[in-house]
Amino acid sequence: MRTNQPQTIYLSDYKAPAFLVDQVDLCFELFEDGARVHSTLSMRQNPESGSGAPLELHGDSLKLEFLALNGTPLLAGAYQDEGDKLVIPEVPAEFELAVVTWIEPQNNTRLEGLYKSSGMFCTQCEAEGFRCITYYPDRPDVMARFRTRVEADKSAYPVLLSNGNPVEQGDLDNGRHFVTWEDPFPKPAYLFALVAGDLLEKRDTFSTCSGRNIELRMYVEPRNSEKCEYAMDALKRSMRWDEEVYGREYDLDIFMIVAVDDFNMGAMENKGLNIFNSSCVLASQDTATDAAFQRIEAIVAHEYFHNWSGNRVTCRDWFQLSLKEGFTVFRDSQFSADMGSPTVKRIEDVTLLRTAQFAEDAGPMAHPIRPASYMEITNFYTLTIYEKGAEVVRMIHNLLGEELFRKGSDLYFERHDGQAVTTDDFVRAMEDASGRDLSQFRLWYEQAGTPVVAVTDDYDESRGVYRLTIRQSIPNTPGQTDKKPQHIPFAIGLLNSAGDPLPLNLNAEERNGPLERVLELTETEHSVEFHGLPERPVPSLLRDFSAPVRVQYPWTREQLLFLMSHDPDGFNRWDAGQRLAVDVIQSLLGAPDDAAVEPRLVEAYRHLLNDIELDQALVAKMLLLPSEAYLVELSDQADVPAIHDAREQVMKHLAHALRDELVACYQRNLDQGDYQLSSEAIARRSLRNIALAWLLHIDDEQALALAGEQFDNADNMTDRLGALRALVNSGFEHERNQALAAFYQRFSEDPQVVELWFSVQASSDRAGQLPQIQQLLQHPAFDWKNPNKVRSVVGAFAGQNLAAFHSPDGSGYQFLAEQVCRLDDSNPQIAARLVSPLTRWKKFAPHYCEQMKAALERIRDKSELSRDVYEVVHKSLA
Ligand code: ARG
Ligand code: ZN
């Protein structure tokens, strides 16, 4: 905690470490009032950096009990304790350093380093948590072998885990016991992990491609015994997939997953010992929605894939974070696409990217996927690093093609195994394996901001030539102006009026050109002609979202309707529908309640509802109207209540006009038989729940009965929650309250379901007005110390209940400012993340914008602001 300005750290200041660690020997003595950590470091000067530098070790909130160099205790004058650093001015070229620290996991509310979560000890060391455990060169380019002994009371903590393989265990005096773990792979400290608790063990095995047998284990609290199966299955599928698609075999004899309730992020890829937020790993049919199952599958895969893209090859410094995160998100999205519907997965990824990452990239925290500076690295675990980073890897994949990309990834892993490297090393491996020049492409790593690609066209009837003119520009972002044009792969196709794809002939002689081309835009302006076209074609632009850019083209509603039903590219079909809906909603902004809603939109939706030929998973996606958050992102001076009203108007109009089709869709998609997690079954559930939601939005009595029945009799959480959500967002107040009470009563013992219960209310404009939010905060199940609870109430309110959050009196903003200030003292990481909805204040209409700014200033003026919140608030106000 500090009030003065935190330091900015620059990539350009990077220096190789002065000292290396070969071996770390740790012993943790865990007690009820704290923990004593004995560490012995075998260190030596780094031959690659000059000698004579003092030894500097990072430390944070540590109590130093003992320090010895080569067996000789160091007295007070022989070292300096500078608060966040321990400096020993004189050390030999090679030495052994012994450090003993006392820490208090029980009082660790930041959830960084070693802490306690519902009775168990666990760790989170990425990015800089290891320094909260002991003094250490806590940077990813210092890689060492770890041997870890854990000692604790045997009855309270029968399970003692760390990275690698267990090599020794036994009983100690006073009912205590110990286990020693050894990790043969050198690793940075951020991949260190320890768990101690009274945990249930689930076992399975996996036989690798070379025939090695791996022990798979999940450790959970006994009450979660029935919620492990799905994650274990997803793990085995991930292990197989990484062998088949990337040729990556698992390297230790044991792989462990632990679920903890209090966790700042989703999960963590610690070597051999992945630690998960309970909500990202535990699931059963009764308690988890389809979306939760899919998220679990993706996160289990993500953490597992890190074993190669992150652990075997790691980051040189934290500016390179996207090296492991962008690549690994790309890998997990490929995996999810292979496990389910690729088009639906693409739609989901792009929805997140365009709604939230584009907003980040246009806001005060915008940064390139390889940032040039930061104050607090935790603030840089962003959608830009993760999702845009994944899009950049996807573009490389598409530019090189499947085979050369695999050659490039093989080369990358082979060349850099056991090293800490940079994004540039990754790109170079791709270049070397493929022979392609990616020098201009590298700008994607250096320039922030979402490129705008503006397309115009003209058709010369006499010559049968259609010309596209494509201009790219990249908006200014903090600290970056006058950007250079980037290398943009731009996939397109052309359709004739019958809806057939046309050959893309680049000159008058070409006859049977391909039906799709990827244009490589490298200049500010690019123009291309297509020949042999007897009529003006309809262009299908940026197919499958081939680059993370905003496309501008003067589509007519006619063209969008046409693409919605004819584009062979599933993604673009969906996108055409979204663009049409956006256009219709935007045209109703500020219009009277009875203003006409575009009848062709209604007919398009009617057609979709009746279309049983089209992939039903795609239909379900196409029926979802663009979210309020996306509509805000698309506007200049957003007036949220007006956006909310216009969107409501369209939804209600559609629901009234399509009432019978919606009822029929509901009935047609009722499940017979057992609960399944296939794409088809998921699509059916999603269709019937969309129908229910729309019908209850207009307070349809028949739908009320259907919802009640579904709520009472559902055999799975998707349907039960779908019914609850529909009731909560309806005008049937009595039934809403009844259902909420019944739901809570049924699931009050299950924290993950209680989180759903909180967020259904907090994200609803009907059940989540500020006084109701205040009540939820008083609820006995709410807990300020648990990040999931904070996210499910405060996060859901500010991030998803836009109409209530942007209440014209500014009360939502003031509320958020208060909660940020309160949380900043206990958990700065979570506090800084909660600020995010306020950071975009410049985007809103003047009345809102001023009040958002005032709320930010209120946070800024709090005494003792953490570095995390300081950075976000000051950059937002700059
Ligand atoms: N490496 C983890 C993942 O993406 C994220 C951990 C970030 N933790 C943090 N406290 N910033 O899988
Ligand atoms: Zn990750």
Instruction: Please write the tens of the pLDDT for every residue from 9-66.
Output: 999 999 999 999 999 999 999 999 999 999 999 999 999 988 889 999 999 999 999 9
DSSP-based three-state secondary structure for 523 = coil
pLDDT recorded at residue 591: 94
Closest to 282 (Cα-Cα) out of 221, 196, 195, 345: 221
The number of the ligand 1 atom at minimal distance from the alpha carbon of 381 is 11
CATH number of the 555-698 domain: 1.25.50.10
Residue spans in the chain of domains classed CATH 2.60.40.1840? 452-554
Is the C-beta atom of 357 inside 6 A of ligand 1? no
CATH code 3.40.50.720 for 452-554: no
ipTM exceeds 0.90, yes or no: yes
Is pLDDT at 91 greater than 60 in this prediction? yes
Residue 303 Cβ < 6 Å to ligand 1: yes
Q: What mean pLDDT is predicted for residues 304-326?
A: 99
Q: CATH 2.60.40.1730 spans which residues of the chain?
A: 17-197
Catalytic residue among 303, 348, 598, 628: 303
Fold classification of 17-197 (topology level): Immunoglobulin-like (2.60.40)
- Residue 317 in contact with residue 13, Cβ under 8 Å? no
Please report, rounded to a whole number, the percentage of residues in the chain having pLDDT higher than 90: 98
Of all atoms in ligand 1, which is nearest to the CA of residue 302? Answer: 12
381 Cβ below 6 A of ligand 1: yes
* Ligand 1 center to 163 CA (angstroms): 17
* Nearest residue (CA) to ligand 1, atom 1: 268
User: How far does CA 76 lie from the centroid of its chain?
Assistant: 45
Per the model's pLDDT, the better-predicted residue between 83 and 498 turns out to be 498
Q: Taking all residues of the chain, what is their mean pLDDT, rounded to a whole number?
A: 98
Q: Which residue has the higher pLDDT, 166 or 49?
A: 166
Return the half-sphere exposure (C-beta side, CA atoms, 13 A cut-off) of residue 194: 31
Q: Does residue 853 have a pLDDT over 90?
A: yes
User: What is the C-alpha to C-alpha distance for residues 267 and 265, in angstroms, rounded to an integer?
Assistant: 6
Average pLDDT of span 237-259: 99
How far, in Å, from the CA of 23 to the mean position of ligand 1? Answer: 25
Q: CB neighbours (10 Å) of residue 519?
A: 17
pLDDT at 672: 79
pLDDT at 321 over 80: yes
Q: Which two tokens stand for residue 846?
A: 């003047």
Per-residue model confidence (pLDDT) at position 4: 73
**199-279 has which fold?**
Zincin-like (3.30.2010)
In short, whether 126's Cβ falls inside 6 Å of ligand 1 is: yes
Number of neighbouring beta carbons within 10 Å of residue 32: 10
Q: Would you call 857 a catalytic residue per the annotation?
A: no
- Residue 268 near ligand 1, beta carbon < 6 Å: yes
Vertex 412, ends 232 and 13: CA angle to 5°? Answer: 105
**pLDDT value, residue 425:** 99
pLDDT in tens, 537-560: 999 999 999 999 999 999 999 999
Q: Rounded to an integer, what distance in angstroms lies between the CA atom of residue 516 and that of residue 183?
A: 50
757 closest CA partner among 788, 723, 792, 790:
792
Q: Using the 8-state DSSP alphabet, how is residue 158 labeled?
A: -
Could you tell which of 192, 265, 271, 333 is best to mutate to test the pocket of ligand 1, judged by most ligand atoms within 8 Å of the CB?
265
Q: 501: which DSSP letter?
A: B
Q: Given this model, what pLDDT does residue 673 score? A: 87
Sheet containing 213-220: give its strands across.
200-207, 213-220, 254-260, 273-277, 267-268
DSSP-derived pairing of the beta strands 85-88 and 113-117: unpaired
Structure token pair of residue 272: 């051999």
pLDDT tens string 169-196: 999 999 999 999 999 999 999 999 999 9
Q: Is the CB of 719 under 6 A from ligand 1?
A: no
Look at residue 401 in the predicted model and tell me its pLDDT: 98
Of all atoms in ligand 1, which is nearest to the CA of residue 386? 4
User: Closest Cα to residue 15, out of 43, 48, 44, 51?
Assistant: 48
Across 317-337, average pLDDT: 99
Q: What are the residue ranges of CATH 1.10.390.10 in the chain?
A: 313-445
Q: Which long-range contacts (CB under 8 A, 24 or more apart) does 502-510 make?
A: 502/530, 502/533, 502/537, 503/532, 504/530, 505/530, 505/531, 505/532, 506/530, 506/531, 507/531, 508/532
CA 408 / ligand 1 centre spacing (Å): 26
Mean pLDDT throughout 213-218?
98
Among protein residues, the one whose CA lies closest to atom 6 of ligand 1: 268
Ligand 1 site, residue 323, Cβ cutoff 6 A: no
Q: Give which of 295, 369, 26 is closest to 181, Cα–Cα.
A: 26
Q: CA 784, CA 778: separation in Å to the nearest integer?
A: 10
128 lines ligand 1 (CB under 6 A): no
* Residue type, position 576, single letter: A
Of 874, 754, 870, 868, give the one whose Cα is nearest residue 110. Answer: 868
CB 505 within 8 A of CB 530: yes
- Write down the pLDDT at residue 302: 99
Q: In this predicted structure, what is the pLDDT of residue 549? A: 99
Above 50 in pLDDT, residue 587? yes
Which CATH code of 1.10.390.10, 3.40.605.10, 3.40.50.20, 1.10.1130.10 fits the domain covering 313-445? 1.10.390.10
CA of 327 to the centre of ligand 2 (A): 9
Mutate to test the pocket of ligand 1, among 111, 275, 333, 381 (most ligand atoms within 8 A of CB): 381
Residues of the chain with CATH 3.30.2010.30: 199-279
Q: What is the pLDDT of residues 645-669, one digit of tens each?
A: 999 999 999 999 999 999 999 999 9
* C-alpha of residue 854 to centroid of ligand 1, in Å: 31
CA of 299 to the centre of ligand 2 (A): 8
pLDDT of residue 52: 85
Q: Does the pLDDT at position 1 exceed 50?
A: no
